[in-house]
Each structure stands twice: as structure tokens, then as C-alpha cells.
Amino acid sequence: MTHPAALARWLERGDVQWYESGQVALRGDALELYQRLDRVFLGWAARDHGAGDELVPAFLPAAALGKIDYLRSFPHLVTLPLTLSHDPDEIRRYLAAGPQLPDGEIRLPPAAPIRDVLTPAACYHFYCRHAGQTIAAPTYLTTRATCYRREARYEPLTRLWSFSLREVVCLGPSEAVQAFLEGFAAKLEAFARQIELPVRFATATDPFFDPKQNPRWIAQVVAPVKREVLFDAGDGDRAPCAIASLNFHRTYFGEAFGMRHGDQPVSSGCVGFGIERWMHAILATFGEDPRAWPV
């Protein structure tokens, strides 16, 4: 890390504004870097795979995530959109009792049924859309979505409750998906070498709740399907952080969402880019002057 104080300077001049809840607001050069990075990733998806950009909404239907038992695998990460009962009398009683504590905490209100989940990963929107469909030819999709993962503690840019994830997804026969993932691994390796960003690849597992009780985690340990691109500033200031991941789902989503290729469940894979974490990597390596950025 050649520029350990660059983020501090951005925080001080307000290019990055820190929310204690684990979020950032961006403007000026920080927003410029965010946009430049996303153009690189979208460019790869568009040029190499013909994927057009999409805008997906904030909430996913809980019923769709039920198909993959998301809540049982990641209950500690999930964020749910809670709204008040539609009954005006229930609302009036809640307000009369004082809805908010002096420190700002909101008392749990009388709730309307919860039928949605705040997007935990951008690509789930695509599996929902293609549920029950036959995927005749390899299909490439991309979106940048705000994703939500509750953590025990947060850090500006690297560990956020809500963050921006650019994902590129391939649905198709297993060989096409594997070629897609290998292609992206090679592209990422060449890009990091070209701009001299200190990264390494490592196999990883998803952050399951009670992992040793979960057959899916055990399967991921036995036969790794997730690789991460780890940025390490090398100064001990922060732990290495995953700025991208490559995930081979085999037919997991194909089976869960009834997506078929011929008479088989379709395979899928996705590549994810955590944009704020890439900002951290560029900032720590090249500093906050836009003229020094290699993107």
C-alpha cells in the first residue's frame, strides 16, 4: 500500500462520506472512480459476451429465495424490508406508545407480512426471471445492483452493509459456463498484471451460518466452486480483501429454479465485482489523484 492516507483525505474532504451503519455516499473524484471501474467491468461483459446492462430493483420475492433455502443458509446476513400493518388503528396505537427511543432506535412496529428480501446478490434476479424456462443457447447477463449483507462490524469501502456489485452471469451447458469463468479468470489476471495491482487468486467458500452443519458448505470444501481475487496492500493495515469472485454453481440454480438446457437442468456461473472494494484497491495502490489511476 503506497497511499495509506488517501481514503482518510477523501473522507475529510467529503468525496467519500461514511455512514456508521456501514454505507458510503460518493461524489467528486470518488464517484468518478466508481463510474470508471464499472465501465471497465460492463465493457468486458458487453464486448466479450454481448451482455447488455440491466437495472434490477431493490427487493427480491422471498418465495424465490425460499427455493434455495437462502434464509437457512445465510440468516445472519439477510436484511428484510419491514413495513407497518395496514390497519390504521394498529398504527395509531403504535404511535401513541412512542415509536422511537431517544437515541433514534425504532421500536419494532406492528408489521405487515414480510414477502420480500433486500437483494443479497445481483444474479438472483436473473434466476427468478428465467425460472421454468428452457435456455437454448448460452446466455450472458449483467447488472450492477445494490446488495445488502449485514455484518458484525463495518469499514469504509471494504466492509459495507449496502454495496454495489457488478455481476456477469452465464446460463448454459456446463462447458460453456466453465469456459466463461476461465475466460474471466484470465482477463482479471491479465488486467491486474497490466495495471500492477497486487492480487492473488484463492479458493473460498460462501459464508454459511453454522457451516459445519450445512451439507452445501461441506460440498464446497470437498469440491471448490468459488475462487476469489484477493487484494492485499501488503502493509498489514487491513486484511486482504476479495475484490472479485468467480463462482461455478453447477446445476444448483438450474434445478432450484427449473431452468433447463435440453432435457437437463442448466448450469450457471457468475463473476462478481465489488465496486467499493475495487475503489479501495485503486486508492491504496495509486492514491487519490485521478491522473494516477490506471483505469
Question: Does residue 131 bind a second copy (CB under 8 A)?
Answer: no
For residue 191, state whether it binds a second copy (rule: CB under 8 A).
Answer: no
Burial of residue 206 (CB within 10 Å: 0-12, 13-18, 19+) is middle
Of positions 82, 186, 239, 292, contacts a second copy by CB under 8 A: 82
Site string for a second copy, 90-109 (x = CB under 8 A): -xx-xx---xx--xxxxxxx
Distances (CA, A) of 184 to 70, 95, 108, 242: 27, 53, 45, 15
- The type of residue at 122 is A
For residue 223, the Cα-to-chain-centroid distance in whole angstroms is 23
Which residue carries 459476451 as its cell? 49
Cell numbers 440468516 correspond to 75
Least Cα distance to 162 among 124, 121, 115 occurs for 121
Least separation in angstroms between residue 280's CB and a second copy is 16
Distance (Å, whole) CA 227 – CA 181: 10
Exactly one of 34, 44, 252, 278 binds a second copy (CB under 8 A); which one? 34
Residue 16's SS3 state is strand
Considering only 43, 52, 262, 290, the residue that binds a second copy (CB under 8 A) is: 52
Query: 3-class DSSP state for residue 140?
Result: strand
Does residue 114 belong to the site contacting a second copy (CB under 8 A)?
yes
CB 199 to a second copy: min, Å: 25
| Least Å from the CB of residue 117 to a second copy | 8
Q: Applying CB under 8 A, which part among 19-27, 177-185, 227-235, 247-255 lies near a second copy?
A: 19-27
Is 179 a binding residue for a second copy by CB under 8 A? The answer is: no
- Cα torsion angle, 162, 168, 172, 173, sign: negative
Q: How far is the CB of 112 from a second copy (least distance, A)?
A: 8
Put residue 243 in one of left, alpha, beta given phi > 0 → left and psi -120 to 50 → alpha: alpha
> 70 or 248: whose CB is closer to a second copy?
70
Q: Does 202 bind a second copy (CB under 8 A)?
A: no
Q: Which helix (H) or strand (E) holds 43?
A: helix 28-49
Examine residue 11 and tell whether it contacts a second copy (CB under 8 A): no
By CB under 8 A, the count of residues binding a second copy is 70
Question: Considering the rule CB under 8 A, would residue 137 count as an interface residue with a second copy?
Answer: no
> For residues 135 and 112, what is the distance between their CA atoms, to the nearest angstrom?
37
Look at residue 259 and give its three-state secondary structure. coil
Which one of 116, 167, 228, 288 is in contact with a second copy (CB under 8 A)?
Answer: 116
Using the minimum distance from each CB to a second copy, give the nearer residue, 16 or 243.
16
What residues line the site for a second copy (CB under 8 A)? 14, 17, 19-21, 23-28, 31, 34, 52-59, 61-64, 66, 71-72, 75-76, 78-84, 86, 88, 91-92, 94-95, 99-100, 103-109, 111-118, 125, 129, 146, 148, 150, 152, 161-162, 209-210
